[in-house]
Structure 1
C-alpha cells in the first residue's frame, strides 16, 4: 500500500477524499429534507414565509448539486480495482483436468461476479419543474438517459425511452394531483418528495399484494400515497 495506492488501479488519496465527499453529500441532502420538514416558519407574513422558504430551499439544492459534482469528480480519480477476483482455495478448482465435464470453477467465478453486484447504484433521474412554490410537472428518466436538448437546455418535455420510467412519470403526475394544498405549498413539496423518495427501491421491493418482483416484465411502479408500499398497476385496485 505504497504511494497512495489502495490496491492495483485504486488511488488511496482520492478514495479517502471520495468518502469525505459522500459524507458532505449526505449532509446536504439531509439539509434539503430538514428544509422541507420545517416549511414556512418563523416569519410573520405569508410573503415573508414564502421568500424565506424559497431562498433556503434553493440554497440547499445548490449545496447538493455542488457536493454531487465534487463526488463525481473524485470518483473518476479513484480508479478501478484489479479484475482478479481472489477466491482463495476455490481457485484450485481451476486445476481440475475435466473442466469440460465439471466446470465448477467458472460457474463459481460467475456467481461471485454476479453477487458482487447485488446492490443497485444510480437508477433514475427526476426533473421537477416548479413555478414559484408549486410543482408544475415531473419527468422521470433512466440514469443513463440524456436530460438536455441539443442546445444544452434542460429537456422538460421528452419522455423516457423506457416503459418503466414512463410509468413512474405517470404515477408522479397522479401524485401531484393527490397532494394538492394551495394554501400550504411547503407541505405539498415535502409530501411529494417523501413519496418520490420511496422509489429508491424501485427494483428491489416486491409487490405488496402478489409478492412478485416482476409482472409483465415490469417491477411494482405504483407507490401508495399513504403507506408508500409498492404495487403493480394491476394489483393496486
Structure 2
C-alpha cells in the first residue's frame, strides 16, 4: 500500500478504484448485451432458456462482485484534507437560509457571468482587430504603398480636417445630399433622420443593413477611408429596385427586392440568398 500523501488521499487505492470502475462498467455492459442477445444458439427451447438464465446469473454475479470491490476501495481512498484555508469565503456555503439570502449561489453565478463576459469581449476584440483595408469596398485605384497613412494619436480630429473630408465626399457623390452640422460645439454629425422609422419593410431592412455596415467598416487609424468606404457601400442602393439578386437572379423574393449589399463587391443579394 502506498504512503498516504499530505492531502489525505491514498493514491494507490485511488488508482485501483479507477480500474474497479472500468471493470464494473464492463460487467454492466455484458448484462445488457446478454439481455439484448436473448436466447439463441440452442436447438431446443429448454436449452436456450437454461443457457440464457445461466449467462444472465453469471453476469449479475460479476456486477455484484465488482460493485463490492469498488465500495471496498472507496473506503481506502480517504478524504482530502482541509489544509487550504478559504478564509471568510469558506463560510458562504454555510448559509442556513438559502431561500432568503442565497449569497453563495449568487456569487458563483456572478463569477460564471464574468468569465463569459471576458471571453466574449476577447472574441469581439480579436474580430475588430482583423479588419483591414482589404475588406473595404473602396477601390480608389491608388496603390497601398503610395497611399499616405494617417495615424492620429487620438480620435479627436481637428474641425478643419473633418470639413475637408466631408467636402471631398460630397463632391464624390453628387447624387447624394450630405450636410454637416455641429449642434454641440466641435462634435460634427451628418444630417440624418435617425429617429423616425420607415413604414415600408424594404427600407427597414436597408436601415438594419446600414447599421451592420457601420460596425463592419472600422479603421481608427484612417477615419476618412472608413467614411468613404461606407458612403460607397451606401450609394450602391441607388439601384435598389433595379439590380437582381446575384445568386437566384430574381428581382423580387417574398415581395422584396435584394436589400443586402456585399461589403467587398457591393453585389446585391436577398437575405436568404446571401447565406
Q: Normalising by structure 2, what TM-score? A: 0.37
User: What is the TM-score normalised by the length of structure 1?
Assistant: 0.42
